[in-house]
Amino acid sequence: MTKVWARIGVGATIVAGIAAVTMTAPATAQARVEYDGEATAFQTDGLTLTLFPSDAKVPEAFADLPMPPEQVVHLSPDQLGLPSRFGHTDYRGVDEPGALPDNPLISGSGFRAASTKHNGDVVSEAVIDHLSIADGALTVENLVARCTGDGDTISLDAPVGSLTGSALPSDSSIELNANTETPVPGLGTVRWNRQTTDDKTFGTLSNLVVALDTDLDPDVLQQLPVAMKAFEDTVKQLLSDVERAGTDAGFPALPKGADRLSGQPLYDALDDFLAQLPTSQVPDLNPLLRLSGSITLSDATCSQKVVDTPVNQPPPDKNQPPPPGKQPPGAQPHTPPLADTGASAWGPRATYAGLTALTAGGTLLVLRLRRRNTG
């Protein structure tokens, strides 16, 4: 019988020990991947129109006339009739806005932006089916930017269907090198496949970044009221100088009071004046109007990181008093609280519980043995 009670006492001690170890074991964590991203099909930055640039070559027909002062017009989205960003979405979203609103500078269609989870991967993608800048100075087809994260690596892709320019020979194309500025006649420069990534957690990609430095047809002004207004005083001064120089300088006669017109009648007077010039003397006014700024076409970003989610946390002690900040008035402790060292209180409590259980198991064993001996 002594062996039986001894086994009971040992069993109680083992059970208590297991309970103590279980209560003092640290909580485990479960790893998961957290994704994020965004995509933008079209975005402009700092579009400006410079009238009579100081470094422009004056048309020969007007070489003897005073050069008007340079004027810079900042084209806001409202003035241009073109949003500064078109086709955009954040992670877990899709945006398919279609075609750009009608405006005199840029046309395009087939815009799409998406940043979603696909087959367990995060995929951010921006697409443009067709886009034309400055009446064909640059035309692109099937432009895509794609950022993909599979939990381990980040991959970036920037395919281009076609890229042409009106100032290029019909039998030539624009040769692109990754993340390198390439001059485009009549437009400025383009940078293809501009990307930044660490290959594991983050990646951002712009298929094409266009730095504009291009001349515009003066007819564009009639579609830009803000630019037309800024240009109006210059046109009035020009017609006044022409009228003063007269036919002796080889200029056609102007209707009286032309320099006092405004709005559309003023531009009609300018058109009539230019139409009377011999073809060989018609000046090229395009260098007097310069468009500059930046346009980003098809941009995608994605990121991924591993985060740990704690599991098997011990339950809170129902008998533990609430924190000092949540106790009723007058129940605050009179001794200052201990500094927060980041250590959990469950370890000491579990240790005390384990020691108590071990002591109880040992006491039970002694009592059973004594009772057996006295019996």
The domain ranges of the chain are: 1-27+351-375, 33-54+78-217+290-305, 219-286
**pLDDT by 10s per residue, the chain, length 375:** 444 444 444 454 444 444 444 444 455 667 789 999 999 999 999 999 888 888 877 666 666 667 777 888 888 888 888 899 999 999 999 999 989 998 888 999 999 999 999 998 999 999 999 999 988 889 999 999 999 999 999 999 999 998 888 887 766 677 888 898 999 888 899 999 999 999 999 999 999 999 999 887 767 776 777 777 767 777 787 778 877 777 777 777 777 777 788 877 887 887 787 777 665 555 556 677 888 999 999 999 999 998 887 766 666 666 666 555 555 554 444 444 434 434 444 445 445 555 555 555 555 554 555 665 555
Q: Are 184 and 165 a contacting pair, CB within 8 Å?
A: yes
Q: Where do the H-state alpha helices sit in 246-374? A: 263-275, 346-374
Contact criterion met (CB below 8 Å) for 346 and 9: no
Contact 211, 188 (CB under 8 A): yes
**What letter represents residue 225's amino acid?**
P
What's the one-letter identity of residue 68? P
Of 126, 124, 100, the closest CA to residue 113 belongs to: 126
The per-residue b/e assignment along 38-65, b for 16 or more CB within 10 angstroms, e otherwise, is bbbbbbbeebebbbbbeebebbebbeeb
Number of residues that make up the chain = 375
pTM equals 0.68
Maximum CA pair distance of the chain?
145
Q: Are 38 and 124 in contact (CB under 8 A)?
A: yes
